[in-house]
Amino acid sequence: MGGVGEPGPRQGPAQPGAPLPIFCWEQIRAHDQPGDKWLVIERRVYDISRWEQRHPGGSRLIGHHGAEDATDAFRVFHQDLDFVRKFLQPLLIGELAPEEPSQDGPLNTQLVEDFRALHQAAEDMKLFDASPTFFAFLLGHILAMEVLAWLLIYLLGPGWVPSTLAAFILAISQAQSWCLQHDLGHVSVFKKSRWNHVAQKFVMGQLKGFSAHWWNFRHFQHHAKPNIFHKDPDVTVAPFFLLGESSIEYGKKKRRYLPYNHQHLYFFLIGPPMLILVNFEVENLAYMLVCMQWADLLWAASFYARFFLSYLPFYGVPGVLLFFVAVRVLESHWFVWITQINHIPKEIGHEKHRDWVSSQLVATCNVEPSPFVDWFSGHLDFQIEHHLFPRMPRHNYSRVAPLVKSLCAKHGLSYEVKPFLTALVDIVRSLKKSGDIWLDTYLHH
C-alpha cells in the first residue's frame, strides 16, 4: 500500500505496477470545484477533471457526483461495466484508505449491501432482459395511431370533429413515443447500447421532432440527483414556481417575482399547456445549435417536414400550424401530469449526499398500477423501481416490486403508493403548500 496522497490541486494517473496512493475523505472533499473533480467508485479514487467534458452522458451528470462515492450510480447506469472500466483506468489516481468508510457522511452500510444483493438477484432473475414482442408492439401501435390520425382527415375531411379526434390520437401517439424513447435512452430495449441510441434518435427525432442528446442530457441528471436543486433540471423551475426548500429561501430574501401563494392556480395556465410547446421546443433547439448536434437537428427537421407535408394539403398554412399547436398542448398536459405525480409531492431541496437507495426513495413514489395506468403512464406508476433500476425494461417492474418492498420494510424506508387521482391532486396540493410557506415566511421573517 502506498503512502497517504497529498491534497494538492491535481494528482497524476497511477503508474502500472506501482502502489496506489491512499486518500481520506477529507482530502477528496476538497476536489469538487469546476475544473477539479474527483470521485470514488468501488473504493478507487478517480480524477475526472480533464475527462468529464468527454463523458458520454455529459459533464454535468458525472460532475454532480464530485467528491462522492458514485459506485451504485456507476453500476445502475452502465450496461457493460468491464467496458466502461477501461475508460476509468487512465483516470485512476489512488484508493480510499482502509480505515475510511466507502461513502462520506451518514451511511447505512447494511442498506447499501442489501441493495447491491438485490440488484444482483434481479440480474440472476433476468429482469434486465427485454421482451422484443413487448417493445415491437409499442412501436407498432405508435405508428398505427399516426396512420389512423391521417386517415381520419383524409377520409372525413378537416372538419372540427375529425380534426379533434385526430389531434387526440396524435397526442396519445406522441405521449407513447415519449415513453418508448425513454426506454431506449435508458438502454433497456436492446442488448447493445448502440442499437438503443440509434433507435432513440429515430423515435425522438423522426416521430417527435426533438433531440435524443438533449433529452438524455437533462433526464440523466434527474435520475442521478432527483429533486436536488441545480442538479435536477426538472425541479430547477424558480422563479416561475417555488418547490420545497426554495419557498423558504425566497420568503426570507423577500423575493416576489410572481404571486407564489397562487401558483397552484396559475400552474394550470403556464404549466401543463406550455411546457412542451414553449419551454421544451426552445430549450431543445438551443441545445442542438449550441452543442452543434447537427444529426439530431436533421432528425428533428424530418419530423416537421413529414408532419407539415402530411397535413398542409388539408388545412393550409394557418390551419396546419393551429393543428400542430393543438397536438403539442394536449401532449404537454399528459407529460406534466404523468411525469410529476411521482416527484413534486416528495422532498425537494439541496444536496444531502445520501446513499443511492435513500436518495431515490425520498424523491419518488408509486401510483397504484392497473393495465390502463401501466400503458397510459409508460409504467411510470412504478417510479420507485424505475429510479432504483433505470436500465430495467419496464415490463419487469411488477416482478421486482415485491423485492423492493421487502428491502424498504427491512430498513424502515417509506414505500409510498397512491391512487392515481390522489397523485394528480397532490401536485396541486404541493404547489399550494409551497406557496403558503413562501407567503408566511415573506410576511413574518
Express each pLDDT in 351-379 by its tens digit: 998 999 999 999 999 999 999 999 999 99
The parent domain of residue 62 ranges over 12-99
Report whether the peptide linkage leading into residue 239 is cis, meaning its omega lies within 30 degrees of zero. Answer: yes
With respect to residue 88, please indicate whether it lies within any of the assigned structural domains: yes
> What are the tens digits of pLDDT across the range 280-316?
999 999 999 999 999 999 999 999 999 999 999 999 9
With respect to residue 204, please indicate whether it lies within any of the assigned structural domains: no
The three-state secondary structure class of 44 is strand
Helices (H), 157-293: 160-185, 193-201, 212-224, 246-252, 263-270, 281-290
Side-chain-side CA neighbours of 186 within 13 Å: the count stands at 24
With respect to residue 36, please indicate whether it lies within any of the assigned structural domains: yes
Distances (CA, A) of 400 to 122, 128, 204, 373, 420: 7, 10, 28, 18, 21
Q: Tell me the CATH number at 86.
A: 3.10.120.10
Largest Cα–Cα distance in the chain? 79
Distances (CA, A) of 161 to 56, 153, 164, 174, 334: 46, 10, 5, 20, 21
Residues 171, 334: contact at Cβ < 8 Å?
A: yes
Query: CA-to-CA distance for 46 and 72, rounded, in angstroms?
Result: 15
Taking phi over 0 as left and psi of -120 to 50 as alpha, with beta for the rest, 351 belongs to: beta
With respect to residue 84, please indicate whether it lies within any of the assigned structural domains: yes
> What are the tens digits of pLDDT across the range 19-56?
889 999 999 999 999 889 999 999 999 999 988 888 88
With respect to residue 181, please indicate whether it lies within any of the assigned structural domains: no
- Binned at pLDDT 50, 70 and 90, residue 8 comes out as very low
What pTM value is reported for the model? 0.91
- Give yes or no for residue 387 having a pLDDT over 70: yes
Distances (CA, A) of 129 to 73, 126, 157, 390, 397: 20, 5, 45, 13, 12
Residues 314, 153: contact at Cβ < 8 Å?
A: yes
Distances (CA, A) of 274 to 219, 278, 279, 331: 19, 5, 7, 10
Residues 328, 382: contact at Cβ < 8 Å?
A: no
> What are the tens digits of pLDDT across the range 413-441?
999 999 999 999 999 999 999 999 999 99
With respect to residue 87, please indicate whether it lies within any of the assigned structural domains: yes
> What are the tens digits of pLDDT across the range 157-184?
999 999 999 999 999 999 999 999 999 9
Average pLDDT score over residue span 73-81: 89
With respect to residue 129, please indicate whether it lies within any of the assigned structural domains: no
What are the backbone dihedrals phi and psi of residue 41, each rounded to the nearest 5 degrees, phi first? Answer: -135, 120
- b (16+ CB within 10 A) / e for 420-442: beebeebbbebbbebbebbbebb
What are the backbone dihedrals phi and psi of residue 214, each rounded to the nearest 5 degrees, phi first? Answer: -60, -45
Q: What percent of the chain has pLDDT over 70?
A: 96
Can you give the pLDDT at residue 57? 82
> What are the tens digits of pLDDT across the range 306-362?
999 999 999 999 999 999 999 999 999 999 999 999 999 999 999 998 999 999 999
- In the block, which residue shows the cell 421544451? 280
- Give yes or no for residue 153 having a pLDDT over 60: yes
Domain count along the chain: 1
